[in-house]
């Protein structure tokens, strides 16, 4: 359904506020670097999305977004940094090796994007040509995960600014083309039944909670707080659509469980 006229401006403003909260939650000495990292992640994400839309024509944004580069709203550049950098922080606290941290970023963002994409499409923020998960194709979730992992790795390696802008977007296309022609083009494209989606989201959340159980209470509120603000935005969109989208409500409810488990609810400093 098309987004209501007031909804997209509210999402745009909240996206800026969430990114600002994320940067300000960092220790003072790290804020400038975090803002620098956020700038290039956002710019690279917009570049990646612009090329995806231009080359693949598989999705598009609603017309109500205030300012677009060509196809992609400028404000989308504020969403990606908070997604990537907060996932990198969580994975850094829970993973034991750099490789596992990079894979952890990809896995976390795939998990989160499943919620974000389904709710955003249901709210009319953007649309896909087809999709198995409430109108969202699995290749779209792969794209979120791939870009986030490459962008986080560029931060880890302290890559030059031009590499941060170009390399994650380019490597994301490699992953997308390989995944699409290597499998997803040939199956899992038709809409999946709601009962299957409920089962998958519940089992996925339980599996992640079980994996994190030995590390419960390890992520401080300084990291999880801004993520919770973003989650509240999307759960608010779900609640708004609840009357006509009970299937979506049941699908999204399990996503909070692993994060509730891993959060250190007593206030603790960011280290």
Per residue in 133-148, pLDDT (tens digit) is 999 999 999 999 999 9
More confident residue, 232 or 261: 261
Domain-embedded: residue 105? yes
Residue 226's domain spans which residues? 7-264
Domain count of the chain? Answer: 1
Residue 269 covered by a domain = no
pLDDT of the residue at 244: 58
The residue whose two tokens read 């899992």 is 188
Tokens 């017309």 locate to 63
In this predicted model, what pLDDT tens digit does every residue of 154-164 receive, in sequence order? 999 999 999 99
Q: Is residue 99 assigned to a domain?
A: yes
The vertex-86 CA angle with 82 and 88, nearest 5°, equals 125
The answer to whether residue 1 is domain-embedded is no
Q: What is the torsion angle, in degrees rounded to the nearest 10, for the CA atoms of residue 239, residue 240, residue 245 and residue 248?
A: -40
Separation of alpha carbons 155 and 164, rounded Å = 8
User: Helices in 25-97 by DSSP H: which ranges?
Assistant: 28-56, 76-94
| pLDDT tens per residue across span 37-53 | 999 999 999 999 999 99
Decide if 170 is inside a domain. yes
Question: Is 126 contained in some domain?
Answer: yes
How far apart CA 69 and CA 61 sit, in angstroms, is 12
The CA–CA distances, whole Å, from 63 to 11, 46, 81, 164 equal: 14, 17, 23, 29
Query: Taking 80 as the threshold, does the pLDDT of residue 271 lie above it?
Result: no
**Does a structural domain hold residue 270?**
no
Structure tokens at 238: 């779900």
pTM of the model: 0.94
Does a structural domain hold residue 2?
no
- The DSSP code for 122 is H
Q: How far apart are CA 117 and CA 122, in angstroms?
A: 8
Give CA–CA dist 98/105, Å, rounded.
11
Q: Is the pLDDT of residue 26 over 90?
A: no
């Amino acid at each position: 359904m098309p987004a209501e006229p007031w909804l997209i401006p509210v999402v745009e403003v909240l996206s800026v506020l969430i990114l600002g909260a994320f940067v300000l939650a960092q220790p003072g000495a790290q804020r400038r670097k975090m803002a620098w990292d956020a700038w290039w992640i956002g710019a690279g994400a917009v570049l990646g999305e612009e090329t995806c839309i231009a080359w693949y024509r598989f999705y598009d944004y609603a017309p109500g977004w205030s300012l677009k580069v060509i196809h992609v709203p400028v404000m989308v550049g504020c969403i990606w940094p908070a997604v990537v950098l907060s996932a990198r922080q969580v994975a850094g606290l829970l993973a034991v090796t750099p490789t596992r941290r990079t894979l952890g970023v990809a896995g976390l963002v795939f998990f989160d994007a499943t919620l974000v994409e389904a709710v955003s499409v249901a709210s009319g923020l953007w649309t896909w040509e087809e999709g198995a998960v409430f109108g969202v194709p699995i290749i779209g979730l792969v794209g979120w995960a791939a870009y986030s992992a490459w962008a986080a790795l560029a931060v880890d390696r302290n890559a030059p600014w031009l590499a941060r802008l170009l390399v994650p977007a380019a490597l994301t296309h490699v992953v997308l083309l390989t995944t699409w022609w290597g499998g997803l083009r040939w199956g899992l494209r038709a809409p999946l039944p709601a009962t299957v989606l409920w089962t998958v989201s519940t089992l996925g959340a339980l599996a992640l909670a079980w994996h994190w159980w030995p590390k419960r209470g390890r992520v401080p509120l300084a990291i999880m707080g801004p993520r919770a603000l973003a989650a509240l935005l999307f759960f608010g969109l779900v609640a708004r659509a609840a009357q006509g989208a009970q299937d979506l409500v049941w699908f999204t409810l399990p996503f909070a469980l692993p994060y509730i488990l891993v959060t250190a609810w007593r206030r603790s400093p960011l280290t």
